[in-house]
Amino acid sequence: MNQADTIYFAGDLFDHKHLIGNAILADYIEKTSDGRYSCVVPQNFEVVNNRGVEVRNKDLKAVMECDFGLFNFDGPDLDSGTVVEYMFAKLLDIPAVIIRSDIRHSGDGNQNHWNLMVSNYPRVEVVNIFSIGWYREEYQKAGTLDAMTEALYTRIASPIVEALDRVRQTPPLPKPEHFSFDHIYEWAMQFPSNGLAELVDAQFVQDVLERKRAKGLL
Write down all domains in the chain, each with its CATH number in brackets. 5-209 (3.40.50.450)
String of DSSP letters for the chain: -PPPEEEEEES--SSHHHHHHHHHHHHHHHHHTTTSEEEE-GGGTS-SSS-SHHHHHHHHHHHHHSSEEEEE--SSS--HHHHHHHHHHHHTT--EEEEE-------SSSSSSS-GGG---SSEEEEE--HHHHHHHHHHH-SSHHHHHHHHHHHHHHHHHHHHHHHHTSPPPP--TT--HHHHHHHHHHTT-TTHHHHS-HHHHHHHHHHHHHTT--
pLDDT per position as a tens digit, 85-122: 999 999 999 999 999 999 888 777 777 888 889 999 99
pLDDT per position as a tens digit, 174-205: 888 887 888 899 999 999 999 899 998 888 99
pLDDT per position as a tens digit, 38-89: 999 999 988 777 778 999 999 999 999 999 999 999 988 899 999 999 999 9
Task: Give the rounded percent of residues in the chain with a pLDDT score beyond 70.
Answer: 100
Q: What local confidence, expressed as pLDDT, does residue 84 receive?
A: 97
